[in-house]
Structure 1
């Protein structure tokens, strides 16, 4: 069995010495690390927002009769699909916009990240 010394093992973890008057907490555990901007999730949100808006517009034009009646059987599926895409896309785009602006109460932690790097 090969044994490595603790000093020879490289690690990316950062450790801090515990104080002598240990109360079970370390100040470092309460520090919030800055989270990188989830560009992939924001691009997905913008794509959903744009596609949902487009589908809602097309569905609305089908309802009012601006687009020919031979496509009227597609009206409600287009509107429902557009709404299902628009709602989460609009919400996450809204959160991303206000997080970029730095408004209080908005952060990139509220946007689900698809980067598992």
Structure 2
């Protein structure tokens, strides 16, 4: 069995008793959630349009469509991630909070 040093561990009493700088928000961050949803929507649209452009060679050659699809995926990924956090925090899943969404 390994030795565990409890000198630097944080217990529940330390969090409850100590002066904490935790801020409890009473309402969800509307601007941040709207920004995440906008990234999700525009990223999805850009992926679809870029794929159509690449398949049909619309708006130039195939490289323009591939670039547009890659740009859409760059928008889609953070939008999906933070929209998912906001949805799970709204539904009350354990481990998800509106505090996990960074301020804009």
Shorter-chain TM-score bucket reads: 0.7 to 0.9
Are 2:46 and 1:55 aligned?
A: yes
CA distance in structure 2 between the aligned counterparts of 1:106 and 1:48, rounded to whole angstroms: 20
Q: Where in structure 1 are there 5+ consecutive unaligned residues?
A: 1-24
Instruction: Please identify the structure whose Cα radius of gyration is greater.
Output: 1
For residues 28-107 of structure 1, the aligned pairs below 5 Å read: 29-30=19-20, 32-35=22-25, 36-65=27-56, 68=58, 70-107=60-97
Change (3 A) 1:26 1:74: closer
Change (3 A) 1:34 1:64: same
Q: Deviations over 1:11-55 (max 9, x none)?
A: xxxxxxxxxxxxxx9826248442241111100000000000000
CA contact (8 A) 2:36 2:79 kept: yes
CA distance in structure 1 between the aligned counterparts of 2:40 and 2:59, rounded to whole angstroms: 27
Q: Tell me by how many angstroms 1:69 deviates.
A: 6.6
Let me know the Cα RMSD of the aligned residues: 2.5
CA contact (8 A) 2:85 2:100 kept: yes
- The total of aligned residue pairs comes to 89
Q: Higher helix proportion, which one? A: 2
